[in-house]
Structure 1
Amino acid sequence: MIAHDISRRGLLAAVAGAATLGLAGCGGDGSATGSAAATGDGDLLAQITERGAMTFATEGTWSPWTFHNEAGDLTGYDIEVARAIAERLGVEAEFAEGEWDGLLAGLDSGRYDTMANGVSVTDEREEKYDFTEPYAYNRIVVITTGDSDIASMDDLAGKTTANTLGSSYAVLAESHGATNTGVDDFNQTIQLLESGRIDATLNDEVVFYDYMNQHPEADLKIAAENDEPTHVAFPLRKEAATESLLAAMNDAIAALREDGTLSELSNEFFGVDITEA
């Protein structure tokens, strides 16, 4: 990662002011469960600054967004963007890995500060979460075997798909009449697809190309794509305690876009720049 030397005086002053007003902090042990956000009081940015770490929930199995490299290190576009944001806030980035549903539940309960997992902004999610400004724009595609007759989103009617329950992919597939089977991760969807147990799966265009680069022998294709790109952003609990963190993260994202870090990371992990709409 490229080191960034921007001034944090405004941020630190805001945090210091919050501390002066007596806002509660965490125990300082670096654990996500130490966050006072779980109890509904305090300012989350002040707590993160006090403990010196920000906890991002992630799957760690979804290349190139979040995965383990050959050395076993957690990396990916989401992971490195999260680290860059934490650096801008003057803290360390910590990651809690798990399955999708558990990540959402952990965010809701306050175990995690946010999620770094290619989270798409949807109308339904905006009712429950506050989202940062987007840090990526993504196209959802329908992935099928090479001999499939699916050629459009409408062709999903009456077909079977597989995606993690509650994901934007599952919701989109079902909105076009497909019957979705819940799975844990992308690798399971591909296994079901190649074995003929489902007709298609929906995922990111960049995820498909990353998979094909690693498995050029796979008899898979993009059969259709969604018309509009989805906005990818960090979700935060919709409560007063997260307002200052939301503002600070938006400032960090703006700075990372302006200095070219987002574009650089996108090209590194995706081979293309998906940071502009």
Structure 2
Amino acid sequence: MKRIVVLITALLMLLPLTAAGADVRRELSRQSTLEQVLSSGRLRVGFSTFVPWAMKDKTGQFIGFEIDVARRLAEDIGVEAVFVPTKWSGIIPALLTGKFDIIIGGMGITPQRNLKVNFSRPYEYSGMSILANGKVAPGKSSLEDFNRPEVTVVARIGTTAAAAAKKYLPRASLRLFDDEGQALQELLNGRAAALVASQPFPEFQAIKYKNRLYLPLKGETFTREPIGFAVRKGDPD
């Protein structure tokens, strides 16, 4: 009889804890990004313009592969995609401070970034290539040709292109810019020998400026990286 009383007492003591646990789960659910997105009917997407992945058309509307991916995700969830253009160098801090719900912008999945954000499974793969100025750096055909102290290489700050340039061209002089357009202009002006960027950007520019720029690696990439959605760590979902 004494054992039964002890057991009943223990069960009664657990009931408030169980109820408290349920309350915590409900509160976490209310705080989750997904619940907030569903409640608001809006998925705020952080991205940075990057031709041809995300850019504006002649009417000022955002277009490109990443834009299509974001719209499809929002459609699948049943909400509206709201695009929040953000400088790439500050895009992760902006996500962490809640300026948008998710990054969909060709972000490469790396261990360093994964320390700050969580990634989805890859939905695409990309790779780095080199675009060179034919007058400043004629006749080059390998990475090693550019891995020299007298060679100036440009890339976009905060990108895996910048990381790849540092890793594969450690002896070259690296200059970083806020966007590919600025880096490209530096290359066109002859103040840099080469630009490192994700394909197909180098290939597009080589076609556009075929009399001034060329692809030393014949359009081949020298890295392969997975691309995923980035979300805040610690989200209940």
TM above 0.5, yes or no, is: yes
Deviates more, 1:181-190 or 1:219-228: 219-228
* Alpha-carbon distance change, 153 to 128 in structure 1, aligned in 2, over 3 angstroms: farther
Structure 2 counterpart of 1:56, one-letter code: V
1:133: which partner in 2? 121
Equivalent residue for 2:159, pick from 167, 170, 183: 167
Structure 2 residue ranges without an equivalent (≥5): 1-21
Is structure 2 residue 46 aligned with structure 1 residue 57?
A: yes
Give the number of equivalent residue pairs: 208
Structure 1 counterpart of 2:212, one-letter code: D
Q: How does 1:100-119 map to 2 (within 5 A)?
A: 100-119=88-107
1:232: which partner in 2? 227
1:258: which partner in 2? none
Q: Secondary structure in 2 aligned to 1:181?
A: strand
Q: Secondary structure in 2 aligned to 1:166?
A: coil
1:220: which partner in 2? 213
Identity of aligned residues (%): 25
2:10: which partner in 1? none
Cα shift at 1:123? 2.4
Q: Secondary structure in 2 aligned to 1:72?
A: coil
Cα shift at 1:164? 2.2
- TM-score, normalised to structure 2, is 0.79
Is residue 126–residue 198 contact of structure 2 (8 Å, CA) maintained in 1?
yes
Give per-residue Cα distances to partners, 1:142-184, cap 9 Å, x unaligned: 1101242442223332232222222111111112213322212
Is residue 19–residue 46 contact of structure 1 (8 Å, CA) maintained in 2?
no
Is residue 173–residue 179 contact of structure 1 (8 Å, CA) maintained in 2?
no
Structure 1 counterpart of 2:35, one-letter code: A
Q: How does 1:1-277 map to 2 (within 5 A)?
A: 21-23=26-28, 25=30, 42-60=31-49, 62-147=50-135, 148=137, 149-157=139-147, 158=149, 159-175=151-167, 176-177=169-170, 178-213=172-207, 215-224=208-217, 225-239=220-234, 241=235, 244=237
- TM-score, normalised to structure 1, is 0.68
Q: Secondary structure in 2 aligned to 1:142?
A: strand
Give per-residue Cα distances to partners, 1:63-102, cap 9 Å, x unaligned: 1100001222111100110010011111111111122113
| 4+ residue runs over 6 A deviation | 17-20
* Alpha-carbon distance change, 18 to 119 in structure 1, aligned in 2, over 3 angstroms: farther
* Alpha-carbon distance change, 208 to 110 in structure 1, aligned in 2, over 3 angstroms: same
